[in-house]
Structure 1
């Protein structure tokens, strides 16, 4: 990740100023994911739709899976990766969660 990192999901923008903030948000989401029976996610499709020297737009389809590999949720997402201080990382994510 590159920080600050912004996420747009469920109609809401959220900016994380640091890895610590991002980790805390992910930790807070774990009970909801446990309730869904989430085990892992798979990138089913990925396409670099725009590529520059310091920025790449990635269009993806992500699948959420149960432990046995059964897909229970599929959604599209756009990630923007940036080169920041000689480090490539995700700067922005926008997901169409279903």
Structure 2
């Protein structure tokens, strides 16, 4: 059986991350990331050198804002190679009743490292 093409592997990686994010599972999310993991939030670069970097209370803060889950609408490949895929990711943060709190479009980069596809960089 052949391994998935880079684009399919990258999309599957994002879907697995989404599943773990919605389950409020930081360890599961970390298992999908490659480290160091880069986050470009506005003009600030954040580098997570190892697992366990998600801020304590992160999901509690989201829930306090009404968040119940995130829904991903688009995972558009904008650049792909054998070991790296750049995607434009569109998702919403939703309340329990399904109403939308906010919608986001970000660039995410998924890479193949040590034989495993993982999320390497996110830009917000």
2:123, 2:105 → 1: CA distance?
9
Residue ranges of structure 1 left out of the alignment (5+ in a row): none
Unaligned runs of 5+ in 2: 1-32
Query: Which structure has greater helix proportion?
Result: 2
- 2:86 pairs with 1:68: no
Within-5 A mapping of 1:15-54: 15-21=47-53, 24-25=54-55, 27-54=56-83
Shift in Å, 1:29: 2.0
Cα displacement (A) at 1:85: 0.4
How far apart are residue 11 of structure 1 and its match?
Answer: 2.8
Runs of 4+ in 1 over 6 A off after TM superposition: none
2:120 paired residue among 76, 80, 91: 91
Normalised TM-score (structure 1)? 0.86
Deviations along 1:41-96, whole A, 9 cap, x unmatched?
Answer: 0111120111100000010111000011111100111100000100100100001x
CA distance in 2, matches of 1:36, 1:12: 23
What TM-score do you get using the length of structure 2 for normalisation? 0.69
- Map of 1:5 onto structure 2: 37
Q: For the residues of structure 1 that align with 2:85 and 2:109, how far apart are their CA atoms?
A: 6
Identify, as 1 or 2, the structure richer in strand: 1
Q: How many residues align?
A: 92
Structural RMSD (CA): 1.3
